[in-house]
Structure 1
Amino acid sequence: MRIAFLVAPEGVEQIELTDPWMALADTGEIPQLISTEPGDIQAFHHLDKADTFPVDQTVKEADVADYDALVLPGGVANPDALRMDADAVRFVKGFFDAGKPVAAICHAPWTLIEADVLHGRTLTSWPSLRTDIRNAGGDWVDEPVKICDGGPNILITSRKPDDLKVFNEAITAELARNTG
């Protein structure tokens, strides 16, 4: 299966990109890096610059139909930039409209809020998003990972890098369930 990882050109938390990427690649999935601009993206270790990664496709070129699931890594700047990009928001909403699995960690639900897809859903995130999620019609819980299937698709969310092990397990299990 092809899995879209949507990130801004700068600001993604590196471990929230690379850890799920490797977990999915290890199960035979094909991760693809999608961004709002071509070239390379700049990842961060919290506030410090980390590695760069080549973009496979821009979000303007990307088609939801070509992907089986979407992963939204966090970092504070990354989802803040994505939620201000109409093409990125439309791409995210397209996965919900198509009933495809979406996974988001840390601050990534900011982009989900902008896509207006949280009504009636229960999810988790970095704690500072609690009020934003509630204001967007979602129900926020403080759990390491939350799987919400109260809609046409599965939404998997997690709070922070410390929760990556259970986040990755939830993503790989859900994708295996959907194909098996």
Structure 2
Amino acid sequence: MSHSKLSNKTVAFLVTDGFEQVELTKSWDAVKAAGATVRLVSIHSGKVQGVHHDEKGEQFDVDSCVGDVSASDFDALVLPGGVFNPDALRVNDEAVDFVRDFFKQLKPVAAICHGPWTLIEAGAVRGRRVTSWPSLKTDLVNAGADWVNEQCVCDQGLVTSRNPDDLPAFCEKVIEEIAEGKHAQQTV
């Protein structure tokens, strides 16, 4: 992949404590290697705690608090999973508004594993074909999504995948969608 494919693109990675570390690091490294500027956004400043399934991982420095930035500051959004991370994000009004604004601005959004929980709260899955960790299927269907069990699904700039095993396909599609830019049908 070309180092300049995403030059002049800035991508937000929205997480809080309890995110699945590999879902952040692999997608972060791939997007950065494609030439994008990457920023870690969270609901609090300082550091955020990664996890490896149910065990603590590393801590990562937060670049910006979600209340201090806007979707207009970025070209795309990535939502790593982990159980605790999206559960905390979806009850934070600033985080939900931040996610919703990417859809209002027709910008690419990517979510993996449990990440789509936050998309439900943002009202962004109705009528969309998505995938996720299997335990989110009922929540996504109840929110109006067409849930499928596939490695990577893209619906008008919304990229979703099921788990860390899907990261190679997820990262490739995320980069492709960010390179394409806005998606006319991506509205909430």
1:156 paired to 2:164: no
Give the corresponding residue for 1:139: 146
Distance 2:120 2:168 in 1: 25
Give the corresponding residue for 1:37: 44
Alignment of 1:4-23 (within 5 A): 4-8=12-16, 10-23=17-30
* Structure 2 residue corresponding to 1:85, chosen from 64, 89, 92: 92
Distance 1:68 1:173 in 2: 13
Distance 1:31 1:128 in 2: 29
1:176 paired to 2:173: no
Give the corresponding residue for 2:101: 94
TM-score by length of 2: 0.91
Give the corresponding residue for 1:118: 125
1:50 paired to 2:53: no
Distance 1:60 1:115 in 2: 16
Mean Cα deviation higher: 33-42 or 167-176: 167-176
Distance 1:70 1:38 in 2: 18
Residue type of the alignment partner of 1:87: E
Give the corresponding residue for 2:186: none
Residue type of the alignment partner of 1:111: T
SS of residue paired to 1:37: coil
1:28 paired to 2:35: yes
SS of residue paired to 1:20: helix
TM-score by length of 1: 0.95
* Structure 1 residue corresponding to 2:11, chosen from 3, 14, 25: 3
SS of residue paired to 1:23: helix
Distance 1:44 1:83 in 2: 18
Distance 1:118 1:49 in 2: 30
How much does 1:97 deviate?
0.6
Distance 1:123 1:99 in 2: 17
How much does 1:115 deviate?
0.7
How much does 1:178 deviate?
3.0
Instruction: Render the CA deviation track for 1:65-99: whole Å, top value 9, x for unaligned.
Output: 11000000000000000001000000000001110
Distance 1:175 1:86 in 2: 25
What value does the CA root-mean-square deviation take over the aligned residues? 0.9
Percent of aligned positions that are identical: 52
